[in-house]
Amino acid sequence: MKGLLSRSRLPVLDEANVAPSALGPAFVPTLPPTLKSYVHLEHVGDQWEIRVAAGHEFDAGFLTWLGDLDHHGVTYLKECVDLDNLVNRQSGERMSSADPDVSPPMREAVIRFFELTDAAGASDVHWHLGRDTLQTLVRIDGDRYVVGAWSKTAADGQQVLRAVMELAHNKPTEYKTQEFQNGTIDGRKIPGSALENIRVNRGPADPAAFGGQYMVCRLQPDVHASARRRVDPAMAARLLDLRVPPRPSERLRGVSQRNNEPAGAPKSRFEVARDVLAAAGLDERQIDLAVRILAGKGLVITTGPTGSGKSTLQHALMTYKAELDPTKAQISIEDPPEKPLAWAVTLAVTPDHPFDLLQKETLRMDPNIVQIGEARDFVTTMAGFTAARSGRLTFETMHVDDPLEVFDRMRDFDFERLSPRVTCNHRLITGIIGRRLFPRLCQECRVPLATAGDDALPGYLREDLRAWGTLAQVHLKGPGCDACHRKGITGRVTVTEVIRTDAALMRDLRELSLADAAQRHRARKDTDRAMIHRAIDYVLAGKVDPLELGEHLTIERPDDVYGPGVYGADGMALKGDDQ
């Protein structure tokens, strides 16, 4: 039923239940208050469209209301939609009907603002309207700065965005909060500037259900009109009150970290950023690899099944970048939004705003860093490549078992256009990070394997584990106790593999089998340990139940992972024991 339209072609009633002689919006049956939270009614053309949130289409109250409409002769189309889609439509109607016309003082303030930003040397203006406030930033010499003098409430923010669109020509006839719209402002409308024109791009952004929007204005200067500027650049910067955006750690503390450091030497921004990666479960070797990956551009893919911590890890990677340089613009496309980032603009995939539309809009939003979401087909994979090729650091996720299987997965999406000869490019895909989460054994009630009996583990699993080390410290999940609230486990441990691609790895992936290419890469001393290696280390240390291994990873022996003769008596020294 979801997404299908059902039709009823009967005359419309007025509110007195009297059949009219002509159809029109005046003859709308009243929507009962009990239905307003999950039913949306809209007049389109010569009929009514009724949208009901999926899961409520068979509610007794809704069916009774539809029966009443049919009985009295109402013409309508009925459609089941996602609740988010319904809320967005209702919110858009409320915002459109509630917002008053832009006041002349606000229009003049916007003109004055563009005069100042042009004088200060800004190339772009970024607005992000949230639930409570409007955030204003300008890009000058490649970096973005918060405009302290333009801190606005959400209500005033609506006025600002509307005032900008009112100044534009070549635009839609109606301002609609839930649609993506473009326009152009003639530079002559900003008389005290040297602008040729201003390109405007705007649309809905998370939280769209509460009126969330973004707007990006590209300021195009007229190089022959600099004499028109009325304001000195230094004065313009002071009047705008330009500030470096707060880092994530500063946002969390609510006050500037720089002004509230504890006694002793303060941490550098790089040290604070590294702490973000450490908190995400990466060890020193992995942090070093990740830092090199994140220092450049290209596509970084996080892999693993559902529930493996991919989104949480990507959140940490974007936080690291914001901590290191908060002046860079981050845009995230999510379906649905999972972890809102206060410093980023999030676009939500909905039936009205499909992924391919959002991907096109994203590149118009002047981003430095883009998070695409899951690469699940040719379109979403190419979206990541397009963003990476355009010079952005780009993040995507993919559901594969082994991190290096991403190339086979892409080839499955399109054998020709995503073949290894195209995708195995270390300048395009710069990093791959595999991720798993394992239950951590309760240290109070865990059961030693030595006392659990010969039948406690399958024979093959004992032999596979012995290939990696001694079983003296191996433990099994216990019966539960007060310390673990009778669960036998206390939280989870992360198992991660960070792969920094290079020319040698990509050449092997093009020319060798996946197994051979993976072995050659992992046998190198400058690479990370394989995920199965790290997971088995947790098992041998008594922190993870060995029976969990097969639930999360393919169990392999050292020769299968690193190749014959690589992992032996000196194997731990080769790959490190820094877990």
Task: Tell whether the model's pLDDT for residue 529 goes beyond 90.
Answer: yes
Q: For residues 248 and 527, give the distance between their C-alpha atoms in angstroms, rounded to a whole number.
A: 30
pLDDT of residue 1: 37
Contact predicate 566/467, CB 8 Å: no
Q: In terms of DSSP H, where are the helices of 414-502?
A: 420-423, 449-452, 459-466
**What letter would DSSP give residue 29?**
P
Query: Maximum distance among all alpha carbons in the chain?
Result: 93
Q: What is the mean pLDDT of residues 447-471?
A: 94
Task: Tell whether the model's pLDDT for residue 45 goes beyond 80.
Answer: no
Residue at 78: amino acid letter: K
Q: Which of 214, 245, 234 is nearest to 116 (CA)?
A: 234
**In this structure, what token pair is assigned to residue 200?**
């405007």
The predicted-structure confidence for 115-143, as pLDDT tens digits, reads as follows 999 999 999 999 999 988 999 999 999 99
Per-residue pLDDT band for 91 (boundaries 50, 70, 90) equals low
Q: For residues 82 and 38, give the distance between their C-alpha atoms in angstroms, rounded to a whole number.
A: 10
Per-residue pLDDT band for 265 (boundaries 50, 70, 90) equals low
Task: Tell whether the model's pLDDT for residue 314 goes beyond 60.
Answer: yes
CATH architecture assigned to 98-245: 2-Layer Sandwich (3.30)
The predicted-structure confidence for 393-443, as pLDDT tens digits, reads as follows 999 999 999 999 999 999 999 999 999 999 999 999 999 999 999 999 999
**What letter would DSSP give residue 367?**
-
**In this structure, what token pair is assigned to residue 369?**
């860093």
pLDDT of residue 28: 52
Assigned CATH for 275-328+368-575 = 3.40.50.300
Q: pTM, whole model, 2 decimals?
A: 0.79
Q: For residues 456 and 69, give the distance between their C-alpha atoms in angstroms, rounded to a whole number.
A: 66
**What letter would DSSP give residue 210?**
G
pLDDT of residue 575: 59
pLDDT of residue 6: 39
Q: Which of 373, 371, 385 is nearest to 427 (CA)?
A: 385
Per-residue pLDDT band for 350 (boundaries 50, 70, 90) equals confident
Question: Computed over its alpha carbons, how large is the radius of gyration of the chain?
Answer: 29
Query: Which range, 96-110, 164-178, 273-287, is most confident?
Result: 273-287
Contact predicate 366/331, CB 8 Å: no
Q: For residues 275 and 121, give the distance between their C-alpha atoms in angstroms, rounded to a whole number.
A: 35
- For the stretch 208-237, what's the b/e string if a residue is b when 16 or more beta carbons lie within 10 angstroms of its beta carbon? bbebbbbbbbbbebeeeeeebbebeeeebb
Q: For residues 116 and 118, give the distance between their C-alpha atoms in angstroms, rounded to a whole number.
A: 5
**In this structure, what token pair is assigned to residue 71?**
């009985």
Q: What is the mean pLDDT of residues 265-270?
A: 84
Query: Pairing mode, if any, of strands 76-81 and 47-53?
Result: parallel
Which secondary-structure segment (H or E) carries 67?
Answer: helix 60-72
Q: What is the mean pLDDT of residues 74-88?
A: 79
Per-residue pLDDT band for 233 (boundaries 50, 70, 90) equals very high
Task: Tell whether the model's pLDDT for residue 224 goes beyond 90.
Answer: no
233-240 and 104-119 are packed helices; what angle lies between their axes, rounded to 10 degrees? 130
How many CB atoms sit inside 10 A of residue 554's CB? 11
The predicted-structure confidence for 158-196, as pLDDT tens digits, reads as follows 999 999 999 999 898 889 888 999 999 999 999 989 999
For the chain, helix (H) and strand (E) counts, in that order, are: 21, 21
Average pLDDT over the chain, rounded to an integer: 87
Q: What proportion of the chain, given as a percentage, has pLDDT over 90?
A: 65
Task: Tell whether the model's pLDDT for residue 14 goes beyond 50.
Answer: no
**In this structure, what token pair is assigned to residue 36?**
């307003």
Output the CA–CA distances (angstroms, integers) from residue 210 to 130, 131, 207, 346, 357, in the order listed: 8, 6, 6, 14, 21
Q: Which of 9, 24, 198, 175 is nearest to 111 (CA)?
A: 198
Per-residue pLDDT band for 95 (boundaries 50, 70, 90) equals very low
pLDDT of residue 71: 77
pLDDT of residue 334: 87
Q: Where are the domains of the chain?
A: 5-81, 98-245, 275-328+368-575
pLDDT of residue 26: 38
| Backbone region of residue 469 per phi and psi (left: phi > 0; alpha: psi in -120 to 50; beta: other values) | left
The predicted-structure confidence for 548-562, as pLDDT tens digits, reads as follows 999 999 999 999 999
Per-residue pLDDT band for 29 (boundaries 50, 70, 90) equals low
Contact predicate 435/303, CB 8 Å: yes
Task: Tell whether the model's pLDDT for residue 4 goes beyond 50.
Answer: no
Side-chain-side CA neighbours of residue 281 (13 Å): 22
Task: Tell whether the model's pLDDT for residue 10 goes beyond 90.
Answer: no
Q: For residues 295 and 316, give the distance between their C-alpha atoms in angstroms, rounded to a whole number.
A: 15
| DSSP states along 517-549 | HHHHHHTSTTSPPPHHHHHHHHHHTTSS-GGGH
Task: Tell whether the model's pLDDT for residue 35 goes beyond 70.
Answer: yes
Q: For residues 81 and 86, give the distance between their C-alpha atoms in angstroms, rounded to a whole number.
A: 7
